[in-house]
Amino acid sequence: MAGRQKGFSLIELVVAMTVTLIITGAVFQLVTAGKSAFRREPELSDRQQNIRVAMDRISEDVFRAGYGVPEFAQVFSNNLNGAGPLGSSGANSDIVEIFMASECPPLSVCPVTGQAGKSVTTRETLSSCYQLPALVILGDNETWGLRWAEKPGAGTSSTKCDDMPANEKGGHVVFPPGKDPLVNPTSGFGGWQPTYMLIGQAVRYRINVDAEGVHNLERSAFGGQTDADGNPTWETIARGVEDLQVRYENAAGWSDTPGVISNTNSLIRRVRVTLSARTTGGGQLQGETTSALGNAVRGQLTSEIAPRAAAATLGIARGEF
């Protein structure tokens, strides 16, 4: 009798191939998931770092809002809700503008004579802190203004107050033509008598889309205006931040705009800032979500900040100081 030939039946081959395909598919999925995680984690880390750095910067500026200006000054600009580009929520992002003084010491302003609205003279000399040209805050107990100032044409001036001794020197700044004030006092600068001067800032935050199509958070300390030489003043704070939403709290509750500030009830007590960020790398990643701006791995961070100057004013009103 001839020897029998041995081998696998068709059914056994089908079963073996099926098992092999299942195992191969599982291994492939694990490798793909690992590769995606390997790319995803560094991008997530970068995104979290960007959004935290951005929030820390905004929080610092909001905390200092109103420093160096009268009690009920309009230190948050109105009408900036939804003024930015489309955000990841499907609504337009907000712009926020914050007015404050620097840490430079205030200087006493001499009585204005003949140069109202064109220049001011101070009783003290300009310290090294006064790096001109710059924005300066001019104020009294009730009103204030913010505008560009620079040194006189020769760079120095012996101008001083009329009642100062002959051996004393003052400071002198002029207001350059063509640079409109960022904040006007109640009746304008002409004929107004401020009592002090400080280096000021108009800090503005916005979302801007760069040439690569990436949404970034940008900051300007000059209200978005160009500087004295015509150069842009925007700086990128964090890449991949695609939405900025801001709300303001007064005695009546939360609102999308700061409103008109006139008394303790309308004073902004807290500001709620929400930032939304995305990974900026290309390609598909696990955990992607869909928004009005497309697919990406996204995160969100919200913080509430109480402006220091407002807290001090409210404390005085309650008799705490």
The DSSP annotation for 101-121 comes to E-SSPPEEBPPP-S-TTTEEE
Residue 246 lies in a domain: yes
Structure confidence by residue, pLDDT tens digits, 73-127: 999 999 999 999 999 888 999 999 999 999 889 999 988 755 556 888 899 988 8
What total number of domains does the chain contain?
A: 1
Question: CA distances (Å), 140 to each of 71, 73, 262, 300, 302, in order?
Answer: 11, 11, 16, 41, 36
Residue 185 lies in a domain: yes
Residue 18 lies in a domain: no
Query: Where does the pLDDT of residue 134 fall: very low under 50, low under 70, confident under 90, or very high at 90 and above?
Result: very high
- Higher confidence at residue 221 or residue 8? 221
- The pLDDT of residue 290 is 63
Half-sphere exposure of 185 (CA within 13 A, CB side): 23
Domain range holding 228?
A: 38-317
Residue 224 lies in a domain: yes
CB 65 within 8 A of CB 99: yes
Reported as type and span, the H/E element at residue 144 is: strand 144-149
- The pLDDT of residue 220 is 98
Residue 7 lies in a domain: no
Structure confidence by residue, pLDDT tens digits, 140-185: 988 999 999 998 865 555 577 878 888 888 888 999 888 889 999 9
- The pLDDT of residue 257 is 97
Residue 260 lies in a domain: yes
Residue 279 lies in a domain: yes
Residue 87 lies in a domain: yes
